[in-house]
Amino acid sequence: MKTRNVLLAVTGSIAAYKAAELASELVQNDLSVRVILTRGGSRFISPQTFEGITGNLVASDLWGTGAGESAMEHLRLASWAEVLIVAPATADAIARLAGGRSDDLLGASALAFRGPVLIAPAMETNMFTHPATMANLELLTRRGATVIGPESGRLASGSIGSGRMSEPSEIARAVRDALRTSQSLAGRKVLVTAGPTREPIDPVRYIGNRSSGKMGYAVATEAQRRGAEVLLISGPTSLARPTGMEVIEVETSDEMRAAVLHNAPNQAVIVMCAAVADYKPSRASDGKLKRGEAQHIDVTATSDIAAEAARLAPDAVHIGFALESGPLVTAAREKLRRKGQALVVANGITPDHNPFGSETNQVVFVTESGERAFPPATKVEIGRWLWDEIEGILLSRSSTERT
């Protein structure tokens, strides 16, 4: 089997000593490891440590003055690597990655690299929870990077808090995971809908809902991370438009329907995350309604886009979402049958938990033959579980076709 290549960047934190253990575990996993040691990193650990562990020269300088480095080292490293892991990642390294800086070897290599990026932060609690660091990590996550940890525990200052780098074994597991999925959807076309729809009452008012689009964007980003050709059809959200995928922005359920049905043929997978309005005003007023004029609004049912898409593109794997206040699984399975879907992600809405707008959710995957309940998790994590499951469905379909 071909040896897989891991680029490990070590930046200036006391947790750098744990990076040696990480490098060692990766080498023991039969991975080929090259290390970028930043100037800050080299204050905590020597290049010889990593050279001894990995058997490869350590790279440090963008301008190639180190042994074995060329002036184009960042491009060589970026095309060699299959995964980039920054561990430990300081607040500064995270800010520089988020800002797209390229004035050192790590920044330039990260910009030139197109594969999965993992970040294991390590810093004092206040630095980690500072809005600047949080915003930088959120930006990197939205671009498809995976943040591992940090954990809570004893920090370099002696205080106890969040900011401790995750254990090397956990980071190594994430690296193996990233390698497993990095191109697992290559060559597949995937359509994802996200966000709410707005059904106009008049030029200023609409019927809408509280969907933030976070789940759908996470699903689209994860598919892209796995190498799929992604089309995201999004209702109005306040989220940054993802890069590296085609995005069609729509407002009403009719516009979403047209965009989905136009693009449904030829897709391998269609994931309907959008919270589509079930009703729209029968007629939108051309002029702004006066006080008293809109006491009563006639509504018409919208068409079920998911069910139509499943009829139009029967060869695709169709995935739905179901938000329920009552018993989850029976209602979700009923929807799955009604809409012709392979899997429905069921989530509950209770007085204590409203998944709309939240960063986290708790879901159950429901298929015709079974169900699988998951613990509460971030929407990014749920996106990963969902694609693991969908890949299983794609695999079983292709093996059925072969037999």
Is residue 233 at the binding interface for ligand CTP, with CB under 6 A as the rule?
no
Q: Closer to ligand CTP at the Cβ: 144 or 383?
A: 383
Return d(Cα 165, Cα 91) in angstroms, integer. 12
A 10 A CB-CB count for 8 gives 26
A 10 A CB-CB count for 284 gives 16
Q: Closer to ligand CTP at the Cβ: 61 or 278?
A: 278
Q: What is the DSSP string of 30-60?
A: T-EEEEEE-TTGGGTS-HHHHHHHHSSPPB-
Footprint on residues 264-283 left by ligand CTP (CB under 6 A): 272, 274, 276, 278
Q: Closer to ligand CTP at the Cβ: 57 or 307?
A: 307
- Provide, rounded to whole angstroms, the least separation between the CB of residue 199 and ligand CTP: 11
Question: For the chain, what's the residue count?
Answer: 403
- Provide, rounded to whole angstroms, the least separation between the CB of residue 81 and ligand CTP: 37
Reported as type and span, the H/E element at residue 256 is helix 253-263
What x/- string results for residues 87 through 106 when contact with ligand CTP is judged by CB under 6 A?
--------------------
User: Which one is catalytic: 126, 209, 263, 347?
Assistant: 209
Nearest to 231 by CA among 271, 258, 279: 271
What x/- string results for residues 329 through 368 when contact with ligand CTP is judged by CB under 6 A?
------x---------------------------------
Q: Closer to ligand CTP at the Cβ: 85 or 274?
A: 274
Return d(Cα 124, Cα 122) in angstroms, integer. 7
Is residue 321 at the binding interface for ligand CTP, with CB under 6 A as the rule?
yes
- Provide, rounded to whole angstroms, the least separation between the CB of residue 262 and ligand CTP: 15
Q: Closer to ligand CTP at the Cβ: 306 or 394?
A: 306
Pair 307, 289: CB distance under 8 Å: no
Q: How far apart are the first and last CA of the chain?
A: 27
Q: Is 56 a catalytic residue?
A: no
Return d(Cα 85, Cα 182) in angstroms, integer. 13
Return d(Cα 218, Cα 220) in angstroms, integer. 5
- Provide, rounded to whole angstroms, the least separation between the CB of residue 202 and ligand CTP: 22
Return d(Cα 351, Cα 356) in angstroms, integer. 12
What x/- string results for residues 290 through 319 when contact with ligand CTP is judged by CB under 6 A?
------------x-xxx-------------
Is residue 323 at the binding interface for ligand CTP, with CB under 6 A as the rule?
yes
Is residue 322 at the binding interface for ligand CTP, with CB under 6 A as the rule?
yes
Nearest to 301 by CA among 281, 323, 331: 281
Residues known to be catalytic? 209
Judged by the rule CB under 6 A, the positions of this chain that interact with ligand CTP are: 253, 272, 274, 276, 278, 302, 304-306, 320-323, 335
